[in-house]
Structure 1
Amino acid sequence: MRETGDDLLDPTPETAYFWGRVAGNGTVTTDRVIVRVGDKSALDAVAGTSEADANGEDPKHTIAVHESAHDATVVRYEEVYELRIPVSPSFAQRATDAGVVTGADVPENRRFTGFDDHRQQLVRGLLEACGTVCFQESSASVGVSFVHEDKQLLEALRTLLGNAAPEIPTEGLSESSSGGYWFGLAATADPAAFARWVYAGSDDSGLYAADRRRKLRRSVERATGGDVGSLSFSE
């Protein structure tokens, strides 16, 4: 069993991606970090960072139902792998102090303390955990939105995107049909630039969910008239 979990709070590209996944679709208790991912590539990434193979329980495999933020009658189904990683009882407080715990009473400016140098990986984890990408046929455009019940988390995410280089403009928060909150990238945002930024270096690091990255890449390529695989994620 992991005695302290302190290494999970050290700011690295791997832990930034890990905590993005936890914040977007996971939780921290007094003795567990629980994180849910949607495919084997993301499972390998978070398990490797957390040493879950050695310290955790076998992943639980289920099918999850997600309602649209705009229309509760529209749902999508996806596979979910749930990792439960044992941690020491004092770990939750340290995670709260670092601002990585969803729902914690942490000021927005203290969210994800220390992860500024790994903003791309952090946002990537959040995108894959609580983001939605869609190609809009009528306008040949790409929609990217984030949905969560934690309003404070989404505000912190908007700040992360606003402080990105280049800046990624977003819309304001709205209430979702399921009772939470959501926001999308602004109409002035460049989805191709966002995709290149958020997945930069992912080929080398392996820190990504293959299905989510593929959907964003192909949506952008369709919107821009690019060939399949033409959008590069090289540094």
Structure 2
Amino acid sequence: MSESATPDDTDPLEIEVPADPLAGHPASAYFWGHVAGSGDVVDSGIEVTTNDERSARVLAAIAGGDLEHETTSREYAHDASITRTEDEYTLSIGDDEEESGEGHEDGTRGLLGRSNALGLPVDGRGNYRFGAFSSHDRELLRGLLEGCGTICFKSKSGTVGISFVHDDRDLLELTRELITGCPIEASVDDLSETSSGGYWFGIDDADAPAFGTWLYEDCAETGLYAPSRRRKLERSLEQAEAYDEP
């Protein structure tokens, strides 16, 4: 792990971390966006994955847990016939009481201080309660994008594409609502099925640049972002601008 000091790999331990990972706070909003987008929540623990090492370290700084790294091959979300190999970082957050063997007699500890997953804003039953993060919609959406979104340059049209892909239709419907309620005008498509059996929607190409720019605006000040994803956005925007040049 490189420790060289660059603008994109600031030590995540220096980020502002809330005392309660369920409180309304930019860091908790970013964390739970990631969990909803690429995580799994059960009574005994939380697992969330990301392809960006620094983002994984930030998530660990926010909520604790153990990080593991592996190289995986998986189907491309929009086309199951295409596979890609990439680094994957998995953050595992266990039940403190269960791991210590002390049980839940007082009902006050356990997973992130809650006795079961029902006390969390995201649980294994597909329930999403993001009301506590209503003042931090940008960080919540950034976590969702990095958890289950894609950014690309569309060479045929010379535009930037931003889309969200997930197996859970309800989560994508909620994400669409969050986007339409953000301060940047961003029209969204209806949900469509992917070839792998999930769902996806995109942001209108004309609105994608402004939305993406707003989403990552000032993110370096908080450290709540994946550098690789921001670089992908910046490259896509540059390619789109060059495409328009005479």
Q: TM-score interval w.r.t. the shorter chain? A: 0.7 to 0.9
Q: Within the alignment, does 1:182 sit opposite 2:200 as a pair? A: yes
The DSSP-based 3-state class of the residue aligned with 2:21 is helix
The one of 90, 94, 97 equivalent to 2:119 is 94
Unaligned runs of 5+ in 1: 227-235
Contact 2:150 2:163 in 1 (8 A): yes
SS at 1:168's partner residue? coil
Residues 160 and 205, structure 2, Cα contact 8 Å, conserved in 1:
no
> In the alignment, is residue 222 of structure 1 matched against residue 244 of structure 2?
no
> Given the alignment of the two structures, is residue 49 of structure 1 paired with residue 62 of structure 2, yes or no?
yes
Between the aligned partners of 1:66 and 1:129, the Cα distance in structure 2 is: 15
Identity %: 42
Query: Which one of 119, 125, 128 corresponds to residue 146 of structure 2?
Result: 128
Question: Which residue of the partner structure matches residue 82 of structure 1?
Answer: 90
Paired amino acid for 1:37: T
Q: Which amino acid aligns with 1:68?
A: Y
Q: C-alpha distance in 1, partners of 2:180/2:84?
A: 29
Deviation at 1:164, TM superposition (A): 0.5
Matched, 1:147 2:165: yes
Which among 211, 215, 234 is matched to residue 198 of structure 1? 215
Work out which of the residue numbers 186, 189, 196 in structure 2 matches 1:168.
Answer: 186
Q: Assess if the C-alpha contact under 8 Å between 2:165 and 2:199 holds in 1.
A: yes
C-alpha displacement of 1:68: 3.0
Q: 1:38: which partner in 2? A: 51
Q: Does the residue aligned with 1:85 lie in a helix, a strand or coil?
A: strand
- What is the rounded CA distance, in whole Å, between the counterparts of 2:197 and 2:158 in structure 1? 29
Which protein has the larger Cα radius of gyration, Structure 1 or Structure 2?
Answer: 2
Secondary structure at the residue paired with 2:81? Answer: coil
Distance 1:212 1:76 in 2: 17
Contact residue 103 and residue 150 of structure 1 kept, 8 A: no
The counterpart of 1:12, out of the listed 19, 25, 34, is: 25
Q: Match for residue 14 of structure 2? A: none
Q: Could you list the runs of 4 or more consecutive aligned residues of structure 1 that deviate by over 3 angstroms after TM superposition?
A: none
Cα offset for 1:111?
A: 3.5
Tell whether the 8 Å contact from 1:111 to 1:156 is kept in structure 2 after alignment.
no
Q: 1:102 to 1:138 in 2, by over 3 A?
A: farther
Partner in structure 2 of residue 116 of structure 1: 134
Tell me which of 43, 65, 79 is aligned to 2:73.
65
Query: Separation in 1 of the partners of 2:124 and 2:217?
Result: 26
Structure 2 unaligned blocks of 5 or more: 1-17, 96-109
Q: Following the alignment from structure 2 to structure 1, what is the Cα–Cα distance between the partners of residues 43 and 21? A: 15
Aligned residues: 209
* Partner residue, 2:34: 21
CA RMSD of aligned residues (A): 2.0
CA offset digits 1:111-157 (Å, max 9, x no partner): 41221111111110111111111111121111111110000000000
- 1:79-137 Cα offsets, whole Å, 9 max, x none, are 11111112315241111xx3x23642x3xxx6412211111111101111111111111
Kept after mapping to 2: 8 A contact 1:149/1:179: yes
Tell me the TM-score normalized by structure 1: 0.82
